[in-house]
Amino acid sequence: MAAQTLSEQILSHAAGQVVKAGDVVTVQVDLAMMHDSLSPSIIKVLHQELGAEKVWDRDRVTVVIDHVAPAASVQTAEHQARLRRWVAEQGITHLFDVGRGISHQVLVEEGLAQPGMIIVGSDSHSTAYGCVGAFGTGMGTTDVALVVATGRTWMRVPETVLVRASGRFRPGVSAKDLALRAARILRAEGATYAAVEWHGVDFLSIGDRMTLATLSIEVGAKAGLVPPTGAAAHLMRIPAWLGVQPGASYMWEIDIDLDQLEPQISMPNFVDNVVDIRDVGQVAVNVVYLGTCTNGRYEDMIAAARILNGRKLAPGVRMIVVPASSEGLQQAASDGTLTTLLAAGATIGTPGCGACIGRHMGVLAPNEVCLFTGNRNFRGRMGSPDAQIYLASPEVAAATALTGYITHPQEVM
């Protein structure tokens, strides 16, 4: 048999026959994720349009309240109350309610996402599950409703773009810089209809792998997979049939030398509008926002706290930290990371999506400038369409919070 990419292996296994890029397959899904923002419309399609009474498997349909958590209005509170009732009626096993955290982070922490699985989420950043070597993909309301009703979906087996990293990050440089560098080369559409595989990152934690996997959608990818190898994989349940096969065919291969990598900044208003930090110029910021499924984890808070340690935010700068999960928040609370952040002048929000989609908890005013550790800087994403969003790593976020303008971490380390 010809060597296969990780996506070809996973989709072959799920389809029960050998498939290759370009084939259209119908597959059994292992896990479905729906969040509060789209659940009302998914439930409507499920019951009213598809006429399904029950979800296909109450253990495999997971519900997370993260997008507006806690509720920001009577309207969203009502939707969430109805969602909780529906979860109870359906007997759904896994509901992660307000404050538990962002869907992707939570499903990985809970061990629900495992290597080789096919995971469909009602969220474009469901590529996140690639951090454990799962084929995670985002779909819209109707597709997710079909998955929730039938346990199955159909898709084209994607070609694969290979991003091969070598070397090690220099101080102040991290996984986010690798991801943004890849977006700079591939551009926003470089992996459309394709999967991305990230090689040479065996040394990274699961969290850092999720940074790479979530950013994969920003180059158009259907899935973004990190092979489940290295120290971080030792607790994963890895199927014997899953692994990198020499000779698998890739539509595009790019190499990134981490030893040479500078902090990368994604300039407004497109994620792939990326430059080295030294080419940004003097950009004063109003808000530094550390959070999201891309960089709101415990290790991201630690990275920021190391730089902020014992110092204060620049006058006039607000720093908002919204942890990706309650587990991360607890860890940060128990080892003093949180105290360091608070002492510097940062404020902490409820674990969840926060202001990532501009609905609550730190929405931006016109002409405000935000340094954001998230994954999208589209116009209007975090509030006013006249605000400016720059994407960067947690290290750059912390350095910027200290000086008040976009700053190379090494200048303050």
Partner 1 sequence: MARVWLFGKDVNTDQIVPGRYAPYMLKNEDDLRKYPFVEARPEFASTVQPGDILIAGRNFGCGSSREYAPLALKMVAIGAVVAPLFARIFFRNALNLGIPCFTADLTDVLHDGQEVELLLDEGIIVTAEGQRIELPPPPGFMREVWASGGIVPFYRTYGRFPGEAPA
> What are the residues binding partner 1 (CB under 8 A)?
24-26, 36-38, 40-41, 45, 49-51, 67-68, 73, 75-76, 79, 121-124, 126, 138-143, 145-146, 152-154, 188-189, 192-193, 220, 222, 270, 357-359, 376, 378-381, 383, 385
Decide whether 369 or 412 has the Cβ nearer to partner 1.
Answer: 369
Question: Closer to ligand SF4 at the Cβ: 120 or 356?
Answer: 356
353 lies in the binding site for ligand SF4 (CB under 6 A):
yes
The answer to whether the beta carbons of residues 83 and 40 sit under 8 Å apart is yes
CA distance 9 to 235: 21
**Interface with ligand SF4 includes 375 (CB under 6 A)?**
yes
Query: What amino acid is encoded at 229 in this protein?
Result: T
Nearer to ligand SF4, 200 or 374 (CB): 374
Q: Does 301 bind ligand SF4 (CB under 6 A)?
A: no
* Contact indicator for 248, 156 with CB cutoff of 8 Å: no
CB 402 to partner 1: min, Å: 30
CB of 31 to partner 1, least distance (A): 16
Instruction: Pick one of ligand SF4, partner 1, none as the site partner of residue 193 (Cβ within 5 to 8 A by kind).
Output: partner 1
Measuring CA to CA, which residue among 113, 92, 107, 118 is closest to residue 29?
Answer: 118
SS (H, E, C) 118-161: EEEECCHHHHHHHHHCCEEEECCHHHHHHHHHHCEEEEECCCEE
199/360 with CB nearer ligand SF4: 360
- The CA distance from 360 to 353, in Å, is 9
Size of residue set near ligand SF4 by CB under 6 A: 11
Q: What does the buried/exposed string (b/e) look like for 365-391 if buried means 16 or more CB atoms within 10 Å of the residue's CB?
A: eeebbbbbbbbbbeeebbbeeebbbbb
125 binds ligand SF4 (CB under 6 A): yes
For position 293 contacting ligand SF4 by CB under 6 A, the verdict is yes
CB 61 within 8 A of CB 92: yes
> Considering beta carbons, is residue 378 or 405 the nearer one to partner 1?
378
**Per CB under 6 A, does 356 bind ligand SF4?**
yes
Beta bridge partners of 372: 289, 391
The verdict on 377 binding ligand SF4 (CB under 6 A) reads: no
Q: What single DSSP character describes residue 267?
A: P
Six-digit token pair at 33? 């994720």
d(CA 67, CA 35): 7
53 interacts with, out of partner 1, ligand SF4, none, CB within 5 to 8 A per kind:
none
Residue closer to partner 1, measured from CB, 314 or 320? 320
Q: Report, in Å, the least distance between residue 152 CB and partner 1.
A: 7
Residues forming the site for ligand SF4 (CB under 6 A): 67, 102, 123, 125, 292-293, 353, 356-357, 374-375
